[in-house]
Structure 1
Amino acid sequence: MFDFCVVGGGMVGSAMALGLAKLNFKVAIIEPSMPVLFDSKQTPDMRVSAISLTSEALLQDLGAWAHIKSMRLCPYKRLSVWDKPSCRTDFDCNAIEQPHLGHIIENRLVQLGLHAVINNNQNVVFYKNLKVTNITSTDASQVTLEDGQIIHAKILIGADGANSAVRDAANIGVQGWQYAQQALGIQIKTYAVQQDITWQQFTPDGPMAFLPLYDGFASLVWYHNAQDIKHLKSLSKIKLKQHILQHFPADLPDFEVLDVAAFPLTRMHANQYFKGNTVLIGDAAHTINPLAGQGVNLGFKDVAALLSVINKQLTIEACTSVLQPNHYCNWLKKYEVARRRDNLVMMSSMDLLYSTFSNNNMPLKILRNIGLKLANHSGPIKNNVMKYAMGLA
């Protein structure tokens, strides 16, 4: 019998399992599709994340950051947002006395860094490349794997993404929608010095973003309607580059297109974060418009909050009591209260930002341009916004 079973060994699930193991719980973690091991000769993956300072601190506490740094990452020190060049807001790490604002890292490498630590932790049993075929829960959970193994755990944690089987098994409903637009991810190799800035320009058709990666590689994100995204994705690399040069801002250095992939944009929020002995974290609990790159950072905040309430409860009760049915409801409720409202605020803020900028309404356009100009000269207010986005406030 495990204390916890974490279904999903992605970035958030792996962090959760590792954090629980460091609290001396016996943990099972299940991952149906293990990531390809790192090779420095590999070109960068399409899936990357902007890891905030707070997420970096969590990864350091878990012992994974050193492993991630030994592979590859790209710190960014500046962030810029604009509608038109004359109405631009610039953020700089020096303004908040930090060495950087965050790092752009391939998702797989964050996952591998966490796995490296998990593999050396005796409190964790890792079930690799195995799918879950059945989940039942009463006072404890029973998880059946495709090879017939059955895992018994007192608490079940769903970290298995937006289409969570754990959430479905617990009969937890969701609210949300799929946005009319999609995002085209474009992997490029630039012919310029290493960039330390990530930027985003808003247009009536949607945002266009630049995310620097290591060694001159970078990722572009182009929001557009589904039909135009399909057309852009079908173009040859040469023709796609021509379209990018026609539409992206002049801040973009010269480049070569390497690869493309289209992603749907979905907002989803679970009606509750726990039910019985089942608890949701990360994308199993919420998905957000990726506009500001907050998705995985919100997931890591879930992890930190859940670990915090458990750790506080451990100071009050014995470990065995914490996991009893008449006790775990108390700290699961504290976790839900701590995270559901904060996630909802961030999700709604991103939707407001998206709707405010992705249109050509003239009065609104004037107001948002004035707002960006004022924001760039707002001093402490701008710095507080930056700290909140970096997870420092």
Structure 2
Amino acid sequence: MTQAFDVVIVGAGMVGAALATGLGRSGFKVALIDQAEPATFDADLPPDIRVSAISAGSERYLAELGAWPAIKAMRTTVYTRLAVWDETRHPLSNLLPRKLAEVTFDACALGASHLGHIVENAVTQRALWNSASSEPGVTCFPGRTLTALDNGAEAAQVTLDNHDILDGRLIVGADGGNSGVRALAGIGVRRDQYQQQAMVISARYRGPVKDITWQGFYPSGPRAFLPLHSADGDQCWASLVWYDSPDTLARLKALSNEQLLQEITRAFPQELPPLTHIEAKASFPIARQHAKRYVNQRVVLVGDAAHTINPLAGQGVNLGFQDARCLQTQLREAQRAGKDLADPGLLAAYEHQRRPANRRMMLAMDLFYHLFSNRTPPLHLLRNLGLGAARAMPFARNQVARYAMGIDDELPPLASQIARRRPGFKTL
């Protein structure tokens, strides 16, 4: 069976489903394909081990799509402060006490009610799937995978594993870092694997819901705390992230939950509230990856299919939402002007806007990673002085915060210059 659509989106994760919702609300006929429909939300189940820090800018986009109220009705945790500090112990650290080099970003200083929300990925995916599937112009294809792609100059089509054929004026790859669409379209990637991996732990702690998320930086990598919602009694849920070498994380994963809880209590900063229970744990490699181009004829990439970054600041999904919003705007303009949705100038404008913005964030996270993940004494002193300077210059600090929140579109000039001077900037 063959069906015709304006846009065929492969991948119904957070970014793909958001784009489908936005295009459906704009009158496009959209196909949304994914291997499985997201699980139905159950408030009695423990939180999804995968969570994201949804920025204020992304909240606005999700509200425009009509999905944010549904997300809020399920589970979110607001945070008003974000703290970072250096936990490396070295003789040079005695020159600058840690508290002087600790930087806290506070919503109050920005005149905002909050910095963002910690949201389970499963919650966001479910809400966006519901939003997309409720649009009359969106047809969902759950339980289906892509087996072939014909990317012609005049038309494009995809073949599904049940032999259905979907014609589309534009094919969108929103199918993650190992994108099948990207591969079938012949778009290459540049990839740099980090020496670290990340271990995510879903845990309960004793005390009230926190309004702060923090990261303490060690030579082996950061250890982070992300607050979640309340649990039974006087306990709350949290998501912990432990970056370290693959060997170290393999050893930690092999421990019982009780043994791992003891290791976390010993290894995490003293700011960690008293843990009472570990629910789940998982680890994954981290890499910086950038598609060599975002567009090839009638194929365009968004989200992790186009770029993946070090998850230090939780900016990956926010960049993906910015991709979706930008592409959505370009396609609306094409629709208004009566242009082909795969008009080369239109898609070039999308890539011209998004590639530099994504590259800046990738390089900023890469710079942060290399500055903190080492024991080199001069760099140790430099990063502590840098954190101390950030603490002493609230204007510059707040500019960075506004960029991370999605309020401002550009990095502060000094941060942007530093990122641009890093080796590899022009080749990303």
TM-score tier, shorter chain, comes to over 0.9
Partner Cα distance (2:279, 2:184) in 1: 40
Give runs of aligned pairs for residues 276-287 of structure 1, distance below 5 A.
Answer: 276-287=297-308
Q: Using structure 1 for the length normalisation, give the TM-score.
A: 0.97
Partner Cα distance (2:156, 2:260) in 1: 50
1:147 counterpart letter in structure 2: N
Partner of 2:10: 7
**SS at 2:75 equivalent:** coil
Would you say 1:322 and 2:340 are equivalent positions?
yes
Q: Report the CA distance between 1:310 and its aligned residue.
A: 2.4
Work out the number of aligned pairs and report it. Answer: 387
Partner of 2:285: 264
Q: Report the CA distance between 1:125 and its aligned residue.
A: 0.5
Q: Report the CA distance between 1:137 and its aligned residue.
A: 1.6
Partner Cα distance (1:142, 1:38) in 2: 33
Answer yes or no: is the 8 Å Cα contact 2:38–2:129 preserved in 1. Answer: no
Partner of 2:400: 385
* Residue 67 of structure 2, aligned match among 60, 64, 67: 64
Partner Cα distance (1:41, 1:371) in 2: 44
* Residue 311 of structure 2, aligned match among 285, 290, 295: 290
Segments of 5+ residues of structure 1 without an aligned counterpart are: none
* Residue 114 of structure 1, aligned match among 122, 125, 128: 128
Partner of 1:226: 246
Give runs of aligned pairs for residues 30-49 of structure 1, distance below 5 A.
Answer: 30-49=33-52
Q: Report the CA distance between 1:116 and its aligned residue.
A: 1.4
**SS at 1:33 equivalent:** coil
2:209 counterpart letter in structure 1: Q
* Residue 349 of structure 1, aligned match among 356, 360, 364: 364
Answer yes or no: is the 8 Å Cα contact 2:84–2:103 preserved in 1. Answer: yes
1:17 counterpart letter in structure 2: A
Partner of 2:411: none
Would you say 1:237 and 2:257 are equivalent positions?
yes
Give runs of aligned pairs for residues 73-222 of structure 1, distance below 5 A.
Answer: 73-84=76-87, 85-86=98-99, 87-138=101-152, 139-215=154-230, 216-222=236-242
**SS at 1:202 equivalent:** strand
Answer yes or no: is the 8 Å Cα contact 1:186–1:220 preserved in 2. Answer: yes
Answer yes or no: is the 8 Å Cα contact 2:18–2:132 preserved in 1. Answer: no
Partner of 1:54: 57
* Residue 26 of structure 1, aligned match among 16, 26, 29: 29
Partner of 1:249: 269
CA RMSD of aligned residues (A): 1.0
Partner Cα distance (2:7, 2:72) in 1: 29
Answer yes or no: is the 8 Å Cα contact 2:194–2:286 preserved in 1. Answer: yes
Partner Cα distance (2:63, 2:45) in 1: 25
Instruction: Calculate percent identity across the aligned residue pairs.
Output: 45
Q: Report the CA distance between 1:142 and its aligned residue.
A: 1.4
Q: Report the CA distance between 1:35 and its aligned residue.
A: 1.6
- Point out the more displaced range, 55-64 or 80-89: 80-89
Q: Report the CA distance between 1:314 and its aligned residue.
A: 3.8
Could you give the per-residue CA deviations for residues 82-109 of structure 1, whole angstroms, max 9, x where no partner exists? 0043220001111111111001001111
1:230 counterpart letter in structure 2: A
